[in-house]
Amino acid sequence: MEYTISQLAKLAGISTRTLRYYDEINLLKPKRINSSGYRIYGQEEVNRLQQILFFRELDVNIETIISIMNDPNYDSIKALENHLIQLRNKRSRLDRLIESVKKTIAHEKGEMMMSNEEKFEAFKEKLIEENEQKYGEEIRQKYGENVVSKSNEKFRNMSKEDYERFVQLGDEILKLLAKAYEIGDPTSPLAQELAAKHKQWLTFTWPSYSKEAHRGLAEMYVADERFKAYYDQKVTGRTEFLRDAIIHYLENNS
Protein backbone atom coordinates (compact mmCIF):
# COMPACT_ATOMS: atom_id res chain seq x y z
CA MET A 1 0.00 0.00 0.00
CA GLU A 2 1.18 3.50 -0.79
CA TYR A 3 0.38 6.85 0.77
CA THR A 4 0.61 10.46 -0.29
CA ILE A 5 2.23 12.83 2.19
CA SER A 6 -1.15 14.03 3.47
CA GLN A 7 -2.43 10.46 3.85
CA LEU A 8 0.66 9.38 5.80
CA ALA A 9 0.50 12.47 7.98
CA LYS A 10 -3.12 11.69 8.85
CA LEU A 11 -2.31 8.02 9.49
CA ALA A 12 0.56 8.89 11.86
CA GLY A 13 -1.11 11.86 13.52
CA ILE A 14 1.62 14.33 12.54
CA SER A 15 1.80 17.28 10.18
CA THR A 16 2.83 17.24 6.53
CA ARG A 17 5.37 19.91 7.47
CA THR A 18 7.05 17.39 9.81
CA LEU A 19 7.27 14.84 7.00
CA ARG A 20 8.76 17.43 4.67
CA TYR A 21 11.29 18.32 7.36
CA TYR A 22 12.24 14.64 7.80
CA ASP A 23 12.79 14.48 4.05
CA GLU A 24 14.97 17.60 4.07
CA ILE A 25 17.24 16.28 6.85
CA ASN A 26 17.54 12.84 5.21
CA LEU A 27 15.70 11.04 8.00
CA LEU A 28 12.66 9.84 6.06
CA LYS A 29 12.73 10.01 2.28
CA PRO A 30 9.63 9.14 0.22
CA LYS A 31 9.65 5.94 -1.79
CA ARG A 32 9.29 7.94 -4.95
CA ILE A 33 8.03 11.19 -6.45
CA ASN A 34 5.12 10.67 -8.85
CA SER A 35 4.61 12.38 -12.20
CA SER A 36 2.71 15.21 -10.53
CA GLY A 37 5.59 15.89 -8.17
CA TYR A 38 3.92 14.44 -5.06
CA ARG A 39 5.83 12.46 -2.44
CA ILE A 40 4.69 8.81 -2.28
CA TYR A 41 5.46 6.59 0.72
CA GLY A 42 5.45 2.78 0.83
CA GLN A 43 5.39 0.19 3.62
CA GLU A 44 9.11 0.51 4.32
CA GLU A 45 8.71 4.24 4.90
CA VAL A 46 5.68 3.65 7.14
CA ASN A 47 7.72 1.26 9.29
CA ARG A 48 10.61 3.70 9.46
CA LEU A 49 8.29 6.53 10.50
CA GLN A 50 6.93 4.35 13.32
CA GLN A 51 10.50 3.83 14.56
CA ILE A 52 11.17 7.57 14.41
CA LEU A 53 8.06 8.31 16.45
CA PHE A 54 9.08 5.70 19.04
CA PHE A 55 12.38 7.54 19.45
CA ARG A 56 10.57 10.87 19.71
CA GLU A 57 8.24 9.48 22.37
CA LEU A 58 11.35 8.62 24.40
CA ASP A 59 12.56 12.23 23.95
CA VAL A 60 15.59 11.30 21.85
CA ASN A 61 16.81 14.42 20.05
CA ILE A 62 16.54 14.54 16.27
CA GLU A 63 20.31 14.58 15.67
CA THR A 64 20.71 11.34 17.63
CA ILE A 65 17.82 9.72 15.74
CA ILE A 66 19.45 10.59 12.43
CA SER A 67 22.78 9.18 13.59
CA ILE A 68 21.21 5.94 14.85
CA MET A 69 18.81 5.26 12.00
CA ASN A 70 21.18 6.19 9.18
CA ASP A 71 23.87 3.90 10.59
CA PRO A 72 24.44 1.02 8.09
CA ASN A 73 24.38 -1.40 11.05
CA TYR A 74 21.02 -0.15 12.33
CA ASP A 75 18.88 -3.12 13.44
CA SER A 76 15.17 -2.31 13.58
CA ILE A 77 14.30 -5.39 15.67
CA LYS A 78 16.91 -4.59 18.32
CA ALA A 79 15.71 -0.99 18.29
CA LEU A 80 12.13 -2.12 18.90
CA GLU A 81 13.23 -4.39 21.74
CA ASN A 82 15.08 -1.47 23.30
CA HIS A 83 12.04 0.78 22.84
CA LEU A 84 9.92 -1.78 24.67
CA ILE A 85 12.35 -1.92 27.62
CA GLN A 86 12.52 1.85 27.92
CA LEU A 87 8.76 2.34 27.58
CA ARG A 88 8.15 -0.24 30.31
CA ASN A 89 10.67 1.56 32.52
CA LYS A 90 8.94 4.84 31.78
CA ARG A 91 5.55 3.36 32.66
CA SER A 92 6.97 1.96 35.89
CA ARG A 93 8.45 5.33 36.85
CA LEU A 94 5.17 7.10 36.11
CA ASP A 95 3.20 4.52 38.11
CA ARG A 96 5.45 5.11 41.13
CA LEU A 97 5.19 8.86 40.73
CA ILE A 98 1.39 8.66 40.53
CA GLU A 99 1.25 6.55 43.70
CA SER A 100 3.52 8.98 45.53
CA VAL A 101 1.37 11.96 44.54
CA LYS A 102 -1.79 10.08 45.60
CA LYS A 103 -0.25 9.42 49.03
CA THR A 104 0.69 13.08 49.36
CA ILE A 105 -2.85 14.19 48.55
CA ALA A 106 -4.29 11.71 51.08
CA HIS A 107 -1.79 12.88 53.69
CA GLU A 108 -2.69 16.54 53.14
CA LYS A 109 -6.38 15.66 53.51
CA GLY A 110 -5.66 13.88 56.79
CA GLU A 111 -6.75 10.53 55.40
CA MET A 112 -3.43 8.81 56.10
CA MET A 113 -0.02 9.40 57.63
CA MET A 114 2.97 9.76 55.32
CA SER A 115 6.54 9.26 56.54
CA ASN A 116 9.28 11.75 55.71
CA GLU A 117 10.91 9.12 53.50
CA GLU A 118 7.68 8.70 51.54
CA LYS A 119 7.37 12.47 51.10
CA PHE A 120 10.59 12.50 49.12
CA GLU A 121 9.57 9.69 46.78
CA ALA A 122 7.72 12.04 44.45
CA PHE A 123 10.73 14.35 44.17
CA LYS A 124 13.05 11.44 43.47
CA GLU A 125 10.77 10.06 40.78
CA LYS A 126 10.50 13.51 39.22
CA LEU A 127 14.28 13.83 39.06
CA ILE A 128 14.65 10.35 37.59
CA GLU A 129 12.00 11.11 34.96
CA GLU A 130 13.62 14.43 34.05
CA ASN A 131 17.06 12.83 33.73
CA GLU A 132 15.63 10.01 31.62
CA GLN A 133 14.00 12.48 29.27
CA LYS A 134 17.11 14.62 28.91
CA TYR A 135 19.95 12.13 29.00
CA GLY A 136 18.51 8.60 29.10
CA GLU A 137 19.43 7.58 25.56
CA GLU A 138 23.01 8.89 25.72
CA ILE A 139 23.69 7.44 29.18
CA ARG A 140 22.39 4.02 28.12
CA GLN A 141 24.54 4.03 25.01
CA LYS A 142 27.59 4.83 27.13
CA TYR A 143 26.99 2.69 30.24
CA GLY A 144 24.27 0.18 29.30
CA GLU A 145 20.73 -0.50 30.46
CA ASN A 146 21.76 -2.51 33.53
CA VAL A 147 23.99 0.21 34.99
CA VAL A 148 21.38 2.93 34.45
CA SER A 149 18.62 0.83 36.02
CA LYS A 150 20.78 0.07 39.08
CA SER A 151 21.68 3.74 39.40
CA ASN A 152 18.02 4.77 39.31
CA GLU A 153 17.15 2.14 41.89
CA LYS A 154 19.95 3.28 44.21
CA PHE A 155 18.69 6.84 43.95
CA ARG A 156 15.11 5.70 44.52
CA ASN A 157 16.09 3.91 47.75
CA MET A 158 18.12 6.84 49.09
CA SER A 159 17.32 7.86 52.66
CA LYS A 160 15.94 11.32 53.46
CA GLU A 161 19.31 12.35 54.92
CA ASP A 162 21.27 11.07 51.92
CA TYR A 163 18.85 12.71 49.51
CA GLU A 164 19.23 16.06 51.26
CA ARG A 165 23.03 15.68 51.22
CA PHE A 166 22.94 14.73 47.53
CA VAL A 167 20.97 17.87 46.63
CA GLN A 168 23.23 20.00 48.85
CA LEU A 169 26.35 18.62 47.15
CA GLY A 170 24.91 19.43 43.74
CA ASP A 171 24.47 23.07 44.79
CA GLU A 172 27.95 23.18 46.35
CA ILE A 173 29.51 21.87 43.13
CA LEU A 174 28.02 24.70 41.07
CA LYS A 175 29.13 27.34 43.60
CA LEU A 176 32.64 25.88 43.84
CA LEU A 177 32.89 25.68 40.06
CA ALA A 178 32.14 29.39 39.75
CA LYS A 179 34.78 30.31 42.36
CA ALA A 180 37.45 27.91 41.07
CA TYR A 181 36.92 29.03 37.47
CA GLU A 182 37.71 32.62 38.48
CA ILE A 183 41.12 31.43 39.72
CA GLY A 184 41.62 29.79 36.34
CA ASP A 185 43.77 26.85 37.45
CA PRO A 186 42.14 23.37 37.36
CA THR A 187 44.99 22.06 39.54
CA SER A 188 44.40 24.59 42.33
CA PRO A 189 43.30 23.35 45.77
CA LEU A 190 39.84 24.82 45.25
CA ALA A 191 39.47 23.09 41.87
CA GLN A 192 40.60 19.80 43.39
CA GLU A 193 38.08 20.22 46.19
CA LEU A 194 35.50 20.67 43.44
CA ALA A 195 36.56 17.42 41.75
CA ALA A 196 36.50 15.54 45.06
CA LYS A 197 32.97 16.77 45.78
CA HIS A 198 31.93 15.73 42.29
CA LYS A 199 33.20 12.21 42.98
CA GLN A 200 31.34 12.16 46.30
CA TRP A 201 28.17 13.37 44.56
CA LEU A 202 28.41 10.56 41.99
CA THR A 203 28.72 7.85 44.63
CA PHE A 204 25.23 8.65 45.90
CA THR A 205 23.71 7.20 42.71
CA TRP A 206 26.37 5.14 40.93
CA PRO A 207 26.15 1.38 41.67
CA SER A 208 29.96 1.32 41.72
CA TYR A 209 32.60 3.99 41.14
CA SER A 210 35.55 3.83 38.78
CA LYS A 211 38.03 6.43 37.58
CA GLU A 212 37.43 5.40 33.98
CA ALA A 213 33.69 6.01 34.25
CA HIS A 214 34.26 9.33 36.02
CA ARG A 215 36.65 10.46 33.29
CA GLY A 216 34.19 9.34 30.61
CA LEU A 217 31.38 11.31 32.22
CA ALA A 218 33.54 14.43 32.42
CA GLU A 219 34.33 14.12 28.71
CA MET A 220 30.63 13.64 27.95
CA TYR A 221 29.85 16.86 29.82
CA VAL A 222 32.02 18.71 27.32
CA ALA A 223 30.71 16.86 24.26
CA ASP A 224 27.01 17.28 25.06
CA GLU A 225 25.55 20.77 24.69
CA ARG A 226 22.90 20.14 27.36
CA PHE A 227 25.51 19.31 29.99
CA LYS A 228 27.59 22.30 28.86
CA ALA A 229 24.59 24.60 29.25
CA TYR A 230 24.07 23.30 32.80
CA TYR A 231 27.66 23.66 33.98
CA ASP A 232 28.64 26.74 32.00
CA GLN A 233 25.75 28.72 33.53
CA LYS A 234 26.13 31.30 30.73
CA VAL A 235 29.92 31.48 31.28
CA THR A 236 31.60 29.62 28.43
CA GLY A 237 34.47 27.40 29.49
CA ARG A 238 33.33 26.24 32.92
CA THR A 239 32.47 22.76 31.71
CA GLU A 240 35.92 22.26 30.20
CA PHE A 241 37.42 23.60 33.43
CA LEU A 242 35.42 21.06 35.45
CA ARG A 243 36.60 18.25 33.17
CA ASP A 244 40.23 19.33 33.49
CA ALA A 245 39.93 19.56 37.28
CA ILE A 246 38.41 16.06 37.41
CA ILE A 247 41.10 14.57 35.16
CA HIS A 248 43.89 16.11 37.28
CA TYR A 249 42.18 14.80 40.42
CA LEU A 250 41.89 11.29 38.98
CA GLU A 251 45.53 11.27 37.89
CA ASN A 252 46.80 12.35 41.30
CA ASN A 253 44.60 10.44 43.74
CA SER A 254 44.43 6.72 44.34
Q: pLDDT, tens digit, for every residue of 84-94?
A: 887 887 787 77
Instruction: Identify the pLDDT of residue 99.
Output: 81
How is the chain split into domains, by residue range?
3-69, 76-156, 161-252
The pLDDT of residue 25 is 95
Q: Which CATH topology does 3-69 take?
A: Multidrug-efflux Transporter Regulator; Chain: A; Domain 2 (1.10.1660)
**What is the secondary structure of 10-28 as a DSSP string?**
HHHT--HHHHHHHHHTTSS
pLDDT, mean of residues 6-14? 94
**What is the C-alpha separation between 104 and 182, in angstroms, rounded?**
43
Residue 119 has pLDDT above 70, yes or no: no
Q: In this predicted structure, what is the pLDDT of residue 122?
A: 66
Domain 3-69 and domain 161-252, same fold? Reply is: no
Provide the greatest CA pair distance for the chain.
Answer: 71
Mean pLDDT lowest among 14-23, 30-39, 158-167: 158-167
Kindly indicate the confidence band of residue 136, based on its pLDDT and cuts at 50, 70 and 90.
confident
For the chain, what is the mean pLDDT?
88
CATH topology of domain 161-252: Globin-like (1.10.490)
Q: What is the mean pLDDT of residues 64-69?
A: 88
Alpha carbons 119 and 246: distance in angstroms, whole number:
34
